[in-house]
Amino acid sequence: MKVSNIIPYFKEELNSIADAREITAWAYLVIQYLLDLNRSDTIVYSNKVISIKNSDYIKRIIKELKENKPIQYILGEAEFYGLKFKVNKHTLIPRQETEELVEWILKEEFSSALDIGTGSGCIAITLAKNTNAKITAIDVSEDALQVAKENARINEVEINFLQQDILQTTSLPKTDVIVSNPPYVLKSEKEKMQQNILQYEPHLALFPPDKEPLLFYRKIGNLAVKSLNCGGKLYFEINEQYGIEILEMLSKIGFVDIALKKDINDKDRMIKAIWK
């Protein structure tokens, strides 16, 4: 197999499970991962013959893609805000919506930040990489924290990682910014979800109790009023269905200048609130 054969091979094998655009994107990710060739390189080295080992690896990747396994879990890595992150079954795959949340935060000045439910560490590490702020990150999962610590090492940043169940927490360290992308997908929404998410991404990080969809937001909001410094800011990624309810909840707690922001898909996805 030559480099020029890889993309057609992906399309031929996978055309029944995804559209051509997504399949092509998968193929380029695999080429970059296995051969360290970017899109331009694939043209320059189109006639390069790949090894039998890599050819067999490509066949295994395609087999797993046919089983709905996300490409990021197959390769064990994902990109977020221009950085590389290791991911596995214990962490969610970083998403574009969360990049938009981080970009919003980075427009502010702050000297400390706390990331609640850090998962792969993508939010905390990106904030550390792009500021001089002191960053703390917590997660209930020790397995997720091991991944996050490895990602911090890879991206050469210092993060204070803590294993902590936010629902059992009574106080948080003083800080300028609190950010959280907590579980917000309702179990009743499962039937609308892609199978690769349901089968492979950690349900602990996806689903709050259906009877208490705002459980994490309420808990974090109440902790934040005792933790945020004067003028400190609270940021959430949210389920689009509950934007107004979360706004009202934060207002009752005492937050001001509460803003609801849409993502690139025009869905209510982010909230910022200020504590004065």
Closest CA to 29 of 45, 7, 12: 7
Q: Which pLDDT does position 145 carry in this prediction?
A: 97
What is the pTM (predicted TM-score) of this model?
0.90
pLDDT the model gives residue 269: 95
pLDDT at residue 183, rounded to an integer: 77
Note down pLDDT in tens along the chain; length 276 residues. 899 999 999 999 999 999 999 999 999 999 999 999 999 999 999 999 999 999 999 999 999 999 999 999 999 999 999 999 999 988 988 999 999 999 999 999 999 999 999 999 999 999 999 999 999 999 999 999 999 999 999 999 999 999 999 989 999 999 999 999 987 766 555 555 555 555 655 655 555 666 777 989 999 999 999 999 999 999 999 989 899 999 999 999 999 999 999 999 999 999 999 998
Model pLDDT, residue 186: 63
**pLDDT at position 88:** 92
pLDDT attached to residue 212: 77
